[in-house]
Structure 1
Amino acid sequence: MRVDVLCAEIGSTTTVVNAFSGIRTDNPHLEGQGFFRTTVLEGDVTVGLNAAMDDLKSHLQTDHLSWDRFLASSSAAGGLRMSVHGLVYDMTVRAAKEAALGAGANIHQITAGRMSRSDLKKLHENRPNIILIAGGVDYGERETALYNAEKIALLKLDIPVIYAGNLQNREEIGEIFQNTGSPLYIVENVYPGIDRLEVQPARKIIQTIFEEHIVHAPGMDKIRSLVDGPILPTPGAVMEASLLLKENLGDLITFDVGGATTDVHSVTEGSDDVNRIQLYPEPRAKRTVEGDLGVFINRMNVFALSDKKRMTRICGIKEEELEDSVLALNALPKNPQEGALVSELTFTALKTALHRHVGKYRDSFMAQGKKTGSEGRDLTAITTIVGTGGALTRLDTGASLLTEVFTQGHKKDLLPQALPRVLIDSSYIMASLGVLSREYPEAAARLFSFYQAENQTRRVPHGGS
């Protein structure tokens, strides 16, 4: 059997392979899916990938499978790890952080101002996949970024470096990293002027470096030789899909609940009323990643944040037995009671992640009286909630959990007054659509629209549509 495109998503706990046909027609469709656990611990992620492909062939009832293109995304072995170094935390550092997170990175170190000896020691020990240096608006302060660049260059880490700061420093930055072994990429300033964010150029180059240079997990070099198209960090692929869907669905927020993390992606310009009182600028597309909110690998962290009485009531488990029951959970629930526990963990992950992502109204008191401003992410214009990731796509309760989370916001939260509609990526193709959208944007949009219409009444089985 021959298909147009295979798209693999190599996650922290699960590897899925999606097969698509009709990509160049008006009727693109999902032929089928194959699943297997991700085999980082076995020392080679291709073991899990090959098993997922065997599962796909079984569902397609074929012994031979060929394809025109093979694309992929990955968050195995921690995904894309970055460090960010800027001048002022609420300005250049925050802009650089937004660029890195929006590209799909997990940030392992952030520094503001001149890096200290302990900062440099931590950078040497962390050895991120990419280092991002920012600092200074264009034609503004120059010395901090140059100082940090010189100190980083002396470490001779052989790690790709992106410079996205004051444009006046570009020539000197190039000289500093010459002959250091660290590939240097210079892009537009992420904070070119006061209250101006320009994060998209940095995001694009981060994903390019990921594709060209990064081998995260054992066996990823073999996957690079197999894949003939882009490999994106999975969170970056979900962001790409969210950006694509925004054009069709309007302002939206995407929740991606996984075994290790919960990611929240929002694409919105916000509302005029809130924009007028915003204290700091926000990007059009924003991602927050909660590394402590995974419902399998980090399930005990989530359990600690959960309402135990609620879990007891809903799951039918005595409160003193809850902890052992959560400890014993499998990556895939094996019975209704395990499913109920995962559902409650997912609810806690969603509620906590939304609370951390959304902005707030802030009151300040002056001689003239109380003044209300806003700080953080404005979600008041959101009209659609999208749920994806292993937990939300496998649970029958995914849509109701998202609805409930949005009814429990605080009055100070910058949330929409009307409850947004909820769409669940039941066919589990959103990350694949993000990868597809790089080369086949129209097909990716049609695929999501079709499967959303279909999945309002049924789930797509692993064997196909």
Structure 2
Amino acid sequence: MKIDVLIAEIGSTTTVVNAFNGVKEGNEIEFLGQGQAPTSVQEGDVNIGLKGAVESLKQYLDVDVLEYDEMFATSSAAGGLRMTVHGLVYDMTVRAAKEAALGAGANIHLVTAGKLRRTDLKKIKNIKPNIILLAGGVDYGERDTAIHNAELIRELDLDVPLIYAGNIENKEEIKEIFADSKAKLYLVENVYPKIDQLNIEPTRKVIQDVFEEHITNAPGMSSVRDMVDGPIIPTPGAVLLASKVLKEDMGDLVTIDVGGATTDVHSVTEGSEEINRILISPEPVAKRTVEGDLGVYVNMRNIVDLIGIQELADRMSIYKNELEEIIENHKPIPKSDIEKRFVEELTLEAVLTAVQRHAGKLRNLFGPSGKSTLAEGKDLTKVKYIIGTGGALTRLAKSKEIMSMIAKNNKGDGLFPTREAKILIDNYYIMASLGVLSKKYPEAGVALLKKSLGIN
């Protein structure tokens, strides 16, 4: 059987392969099916998992031979893209650098503001980051902090790619500092070139390029790279990319991805003019937040603690000891009705908490001239669509009902999506794949996404 495109999602635990036909212009776009297998990092070769997923796909399609014209891939194998971020002032350059890193699909393990201390350097060594992002100072502004931090990081003698995205005046100095180091240096435009001005897209692009060049050397990944056409990008970055492509076609949106370990929220919206006029500090059009404590399997107990075990038992109309037994025997994929009910409550709490953390809010200030209202954080009030993806929201029967609670959960000061926002589900669970596909075939990517979302 001949297929146009295969797209592999190489995760930390599972590898999925999706098959598509008709991606060339003028053809009928079709999602053929999906195969999956354990990623096989522990076996020392992720290629084993990829081959297993292809075999699974062949069984699904009931074919002995599978040929394809092109293959693309995303990866979060080996724990994803670990980064540390270091800037000057937290609410300015540090936050801008953090937005760039998260939007590129990174998992941020350490954020520091100001001059690095010995304890910070110890943490960097223990984290063993895949990439270090160094920023600090607006262009032609403060210089010393970034130079100080660069010199300390250089002394660590790490064989880790370093991206400098700070004050433009420091570039030559940073070059000198890392001239003879193991670290490969990337010089990028300042993420915060002027007060209240973000410039994060150049850094996002370089982070993904660095990921491809340096991080795909996980065991067996080199052979995967030989099979793939185009770049291998971080899976969360692919979801944000898909959201950005959809926004251009459909309008402002927010994508919620509830997984076993984390809950990610991706929003693509300029917000309202009214809120922008009173916004304390700028927000990126495309924003990603990752809640590492909110997962419906690995981090299930964190969510149970957020709700409270007695409150959760009351919601499920069961006794506390029954709930404790369900918690003790919790599985990655719920089977019985009561297990599904349990995961629905976990998912609801994960969605509401993650959106509350992602969205901005209004603040009332009182001064000599009376009350004034300011806004801080991301404005989601103009979002037209709320999209659910990830294992939980694409498989639970009450996913739309869960996401409809977002607007109802607004206590009046949150910049949440309104009740008018339409709720859509990524029924095929292919959003990350189509983010990758859209880099080369944007029209096909949008068409397939719309099919998965149930839009004609």
Q: TM-score, normalised by structure 2?
A: 0.96
Alpha-carbon contact 1:76-1:216 (below 8 Å) kept: no
Q: Distance in 2 between matches of 1:334 and 1:216?
A: 37
Q: Return closer, same or farther for 1:239/1:9 CA change in 2, 3 Å cut-off.
A: same
Name the SS of the counterpart of 1:437 in structure 2: helix
Partner of 2:63: 62
Q: Return closer, same or farther for 1:269/1:35 CA change in 2, 3 Å cut-off.
A: same
Partner of 2:206: 205
Structure 1, residues 196-224: CA drift from partner, whole Å, max 9, x if none? 00000000000011111104754434423
Q: Distance in 2 between matches of 1:322 and 1:427?
A: 31
Partner of 1:276: 277
Partner of 1:111: 112
Alpha-carbon contact 1:258-1:295 (below 8 Å) kept: yes
1:7 partnered with 2:7: yes
**1:128: Cα distance to partner?**
0.5
1:141 partnered with 2:136: no
Greater RCO, CA 8 A, separation 6+: 1
**Of 15-24 and 225-234, the range deviating more from structure 2:** 225-234
Q: Distance in 2 between matches of 1:37 and 1:213?
A: 23
Alpha-carbon contact 1:403-1:422 (below 8 Å) kept: yes
Partner of 1:214: 215
Q: Distance in 2 between matches of 1:42 and 1:21?
A: 32
Name the SS of the counterpart of 1:379 in structure 2: coil
**1:2: Cα distance to partner?**
1.2
Q: Return closer, same or farther for 1:310/1:121 CA change in 2, 3 Å cut-off.
A: closer
Name the SS of the counterpart of 2:313 in structure 1: helix
Amino acid at match of 1:3: I
**1:59: Cα distance to partner?**
1.2
Q: Return closer, same or farther for 1:360/1:199 CA change in 2, 3 Å cut-off.
A: same
Name the SS of the counterpart of 2:448 in structure 1: helix
Amino acid at match of 1:2: K
**1:265: Cα distance to partner?**
0.4
Alpha-carbon contact 2:389-2:426 (below 8 Å) kept: yes
Q: Distance in 2 between matches of 1:305 and 1:42?
A: 36
Name the SS of the counterpart of 1:64 in structure 2: coil
Superposition RMSD on alpha carbons, in Å? 1.7
Alpha-carbon contact 1:78-1:216 (below 8 Å) kept: no
Q: Return closer, same or farther for 1:344/1:218 CA change in 2, 3 Å cut-off.
A: farther
Amino acid at match of 1:5: V
Partner of 2:229: 228
**Unaligned residue ranges in structure 1 (runs of 5+):** 457-465
Q: Distance in 2 between matches of 1:85 and 1:217?
A: 26
Structure 1, residues 137-168: CA drift from partner, whole Å, max 9, x if none? 01111111111111111111010011101111
Q: Distance in 1 between matches of 2:150 and 2:239?
A: 32
Name the SS of the counterpart of 1:169 in structure 2: helix
Identity of aligned residues (%): 56
**1:229: Cα distance to partner?**
2.4
Aligned length: 455
Q: Distance in 1 between matches of 2:212 and 2:412?
A: 43
Q: Distance in 2 between matches of 1:216 and 1:396?
A: 39
Alpha-carbon contact 1:13-1:331 (below 8 Å) kept: no
Q: TM-score, normalised by structure 1?
A: 0.94
Amino acid at match of 1:137: V
**1:13: Cα distance to partner?**
4.0
**Unaligned residue ranges in structure 2 (runs of 5+):** none
Amino acid at match of 1:368: S
Amino acid at match of 1:200: E
Alpha-carbon contact 1:102-1:236 (below 8 Å) kept: yes
Alpha-carbon contact 1:300-1:327 (below 8 Å) kept: no
Q: Distance in 2 between matches of 1:322 and 1:222?
A: 46
Amino acid at match of 1:96: A
Q: Distance in 2 between matches of 1:355 and 1:50?
A: 40
Amino acid at match of 1:18: N
1:400 partnered with 2:401: yes
Q: Distance in 2 between matches of 1:381 and 1:67?
A: 41
Partner of 1:459: none
Q: Distance in 2 between matches of 1:379 and 1:321?
A: 39
Q: Return closer, same or farther for 1:314/1:43 CA change in 2, 3 Å cut-off.
A: farther
**1:406: Cα distance to partner?**
2.7
1:123 partnered with 2:147: no
Structure 1, residues 310-361: CA drift from partner, whole Å, max 9, x if none? 6435645422232331232221222222222222111111111011111111
**Of 218-227 and 81-90, the range deviating more from structure 2:** 218-227
Q: Distance in 2 between matches of 1:109 and 1:318?
A: 41
Name the SS of the counterpart of 2:326 in structure 1: helix
**1:306: Cα distance to partner?**
2.6
1:415 partnered with 2:416: yes
Partner of 1:294: 295
Amino acid at match of 1:430: M
Structure 1, residues 252-307: CA drift from partner, whole Å, max 9, x if none? 00001111111000001010111111111101111000011111111111221235
Q: Distance in 2 between matches of 1:46 and 1:292?
A: 30
Amino acid at match of 2:331: N
Name the SS of the counterpart of 1:373 in structure 2: strand
Partner of 1:248: 249
Q: Distance in 2 between matches of 1:417 and 1:8?
A: 35
Name the SS of the counterpart of 1:294 in structure 2: coil
Q: Return closer, same or farther for 1:31/1:437 CA change in 2, 3 Å cut-off.
A: same
Alpha-carbon contact 2:279-2:374 (below 8 Å) kept: yes
**1:225: Cα distance to partner?**
3.2
